């Protein structure tokens, strides 16, 4: 039975690995593993200091490795490594830089212990909410320091996600970034029930989304015989296989991605999770997950499915419109600041999708730039939200924000600036972001979509303005919340966000240059 013998296999070669290129990810993953060990071996009293130091050093180290690599190798085209599963090209590098900077900001918010004694996280997650022990833990100074290694895992997952060149790697990265997030959502110190509810909700819906992604992956593998994006693109260009498989697979895959990016109508988890999760985690999710998810969407659409764009673009038009309309209209009815920002993020996801759909260099660079601007603005905004507190914790109900400008002119001014940036008023980064994304859209002949997007931004402006009205024009309630004076960490994070929002609004040219050089490598 010679014929059935397996063909002579070539000896397995170890893949070429460009260690210098993926060093930032390795550093973060290493730090995450060491962080887990710290949990096991360092005494409870010293854990927080050890974890914070390690995480900060890891992000800074990853940043240094990243900068060294970028300055040494300015490749226009980029390279692929690890058997072509990871593409270190310009978009990936831009997203990595963005993620590292945003991750640093989020980490600072997570590490802050001045706003609330012991930090925003529960002392012991195992204690049931509402019990006496729970009250004791709420008043205690400890926290679950596992948050730090979890953050590192999530961040490295995100970095892999937006550089993943095949769908299987992408799926693994998706899980690496999602699982820690599910956990961290449930770790709020105050209002623990809503926090745990958000964690469960996120987990269940996220599991569904992952399943969709996996089914899509399977169908695409059936179609193309490969999970590599480039192979799928080749197969789509000239394959006799049934298109049903291709588009069913694509559809399922994209649903999984859109879910992570909280694009409507796959947004249902967003408001609840944004509201329930500890605010630093919300900031981390809103900024970094969005960047990673859109990085993935950009790569999948451009590398894998550009040749078939004619068939699926109409559907994503509808998705983009739905997202903008849902975000803008439902945002109007919100009475909670965090939920309002969640709907705003849904609307922004719609705007981002306009750029991602343009499928041309301008669209790519525009979307990348928009991600950078939106990430920093939203990070600072959630940082600011965490400062407004009353005796029961954060005061996120909008009515509690009345007259805030009188209590704390600085916070009100900062938050107003960030809201104006989200509304897209000139001289903020939000405006430049909209300009570049929408100009890419018009260049690609999507004028109706852009007009709808602009109308949606006008509607969304209304709820941003409403907060400004509340803060400045209303009289403060007598028993209203106070504004905590933040410590170094949170101040640094908010300042970082505000400065980037301002600088990218006034002199955006350099960042546009970064975003605009080079395309995907595959």
Partner 1 sequence: MNTQPAAMIAGTSGGGSGLLLALLLLPLLGGIVVAFLKDDRMAKLTALTVSLVELVLVVPAWITYVPNGSRIQLALSVDWIPNFGIHFSLGIDGIALTMIALIGILTPIVIGGSWADKLPEGRGAAGFYSLLLVMQTGMVGVFAATDVFLFYVFFEAVLVPMYFLVGRFGGPRRQYAAMKFFLYSLLGGLIMLASVIGLYVVSKDYNNGVGTLDWQTLSTVMDQAPLSTQIWLFLGFFVAFAIKAPLVPLHTWLPDATAEAPIGTGVLLVGVLDKIGTFGFLRYCLPLFPAASKELAPLVLILSVLGIVYGALLAAGQNDMKRLMAYISIAHFGFIGLGIFAFSTQSIAGSALYMVNHGLATGMLFLVVGMVIARGDSRSIRDYGGLAKLTPVLAGLFLFAGLAALSLPGLNSFVSEFLVLVGSYPNAPVYAIIGAVGMILAAAYVLWAYQRVFQGPVRGNALVGLSGGPGTAGDPAKASIADLGVREKVVLAPLVVLIIFLGFYPAPVLDVLQPTVDATLQSVGLADPVGGK
Residues in contact with partner 1 by the rule CB under 8 A? 406, 420, 423-427, 431-432, 434-436, 438-439, 442-443, 447, 450-451, 454-455, 457-458, 461-462, 465-466, 469, 472-474, 507-509, 512-513, 516
Nearer to partner 1, 302 or 457 (CB): 457
CB 485, min distance to partner 1, A: 20
Nearest to 88 by CA among 27, 13, 20, 185: 20
**Burial of residue 90 (number of CB atoms within 10 Å: 0-12, 13-18, 19+):** buried
Cβ pair 47, 92 in contact under 8 A: no
CB 473, min distance to partner 1, A: 5
Classify residue 358 by its DSSP letter: T
Nearer to partner 1, 205 or 442 (CB): 442
CB 169, min distance to partner 1, A: 32
CB 434, min distance to partner 1, A: 8
Pull the structure tokens for residue 335. 């009475």
Place of tokens 């989200």: 422
Nearer to partner 1, 60 or 507 (CB): 507
**How far are the Cα atoms of 64, 113, 123 from residue 142, in angstroms, in the given order?**
32, 10, 5
Nearer to partner 1, 214 or 405 (CB): 405
Residues 6+ apart with CB under 8 A from 292: 95, 99, 157, 158, 159, 161, 162, 177, 260
Q: State the SS3 of 170-183.
A: HHHHHHHHHHHHHH
CB 461, min distance to partner 1, A: 5
Cα separation, 471 vs 391, whole angstroms: 20
Nearer to partner 1, 97 or 280 (CB): 97
Nearer to partner 1, 218 or 442 (CB): 442
Inter-axis angle of helices 309-332 and 447-473, to 10 degrees? 20
Cα separation, 352 vs 345, whole angstroms: 10
CB 457, min distance to partner 1, A: 6
Nearer to partner 1, 93 or 354 (CB): 354
CB 431, min distance to partner 1, A: 8
Cα separation, 174 vs 157, whole angstroms: 7
């Amino acid at each position: 039975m010679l014929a059935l013998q397996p063909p002579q296999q070539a000896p397995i070669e170890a893949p070429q690995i460009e260690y210098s290129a993926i060093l930032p990810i390795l550093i973060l993953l290493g730090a995450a593993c060491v962080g887990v060990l710290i949990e096991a071996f360092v005494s409870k009293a010293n854990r927080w200091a050890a974890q914070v130091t390690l995480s900060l050093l890891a992000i800074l180290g990853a940043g240094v490795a990243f900068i060294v690599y970028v300055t040494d190798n300015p490749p226009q085209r980029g390279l692929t490594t690890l058997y072509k599963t990871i593409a270190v090209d310009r978009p990936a590098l831009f997203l990595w830089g963005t993620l590292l900077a945003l991750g640093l900001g989020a980490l600072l918010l997570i590490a802050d212990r001045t706003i609330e004694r012991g930090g925003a996280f529960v002392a012991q997650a195992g204690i049931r909410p509402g019990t006496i022990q729970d009250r004791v833990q709420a008043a205690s100074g400890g926290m679950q320091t596992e948050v730090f290694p979890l953050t590192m895992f999530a961040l490295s997952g995100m970095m892999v996600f937006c550089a993943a060149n095949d769908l299987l790697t992408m799926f693994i990265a998706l899980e690496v970034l999602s699982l820690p997030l599910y956990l961290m959502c449930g770790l709020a110190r105050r209002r623990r029930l809503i926090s745990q509810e958000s964690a469960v909700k996120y987990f269940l819906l996220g599991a569904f989304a992952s399943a969709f992604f996996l089914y899509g992956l399977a169908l695409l593998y059936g179609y193309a015989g490969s999970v590599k994006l480039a192979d799928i693109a080749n197969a789509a260009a000239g394959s006799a296989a049934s298109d049903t498989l291709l588009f069913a697979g694509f559809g399922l895959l994209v649903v999984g991605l859109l879910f992570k990016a909280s694009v409507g109508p796959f947004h249902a988890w967003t408001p609840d999770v944004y509201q329930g999760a500890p605010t630093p985690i919300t900031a981390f999710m809103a900024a970094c997950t969005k960047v990673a998810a859109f990085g993935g969407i950009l790569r999948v659409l451009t590398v894998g499915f550009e040749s078939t764009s004619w068939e699926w673009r109409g559907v994503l038009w509808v998705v983009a419109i739905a997202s903008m309309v849902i975000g803008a209209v439902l945002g109007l009815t919100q009475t909670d600041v965090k939920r309002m920002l969640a709907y705003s993020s849904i609307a922004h996801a719609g705007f981002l999708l306009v750029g991602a759909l343009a499928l041309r260099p301008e669209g790519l660079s525009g979307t990348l730039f928009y991600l950078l601007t939106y990430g920093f603005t939203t990070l600072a905004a959630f940082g600011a939200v965490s400062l407004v507190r009353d005796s029961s914790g954060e005061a996120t109900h909008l009515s509690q924000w009345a007259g805030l400008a009188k209590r704390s002119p600085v916070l009100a001014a900062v938050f107003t600036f960030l809201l104006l940036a989200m509304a897209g008023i000139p001289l903020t980064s939000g405006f430049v972001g909209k300009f570049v994304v929408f100009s890419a859209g018009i260049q690609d002949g999507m004028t109706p979509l852009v007009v709808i997007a602009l109308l949606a931004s006008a509607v969304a402006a209304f709820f941003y303005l409403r907060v400004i009205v509340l803060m400045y024009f209303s009289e403060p309630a007598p028993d209203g919340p106070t504004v905590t004076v933040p410590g170094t960490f949170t101040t640094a994070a908010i300042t970082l966000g505000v400065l980037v929002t301002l600088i990218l609004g006034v002199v955006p040219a350099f960042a546009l240059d970064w975003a605009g050089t080079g395309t995907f490598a595959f």
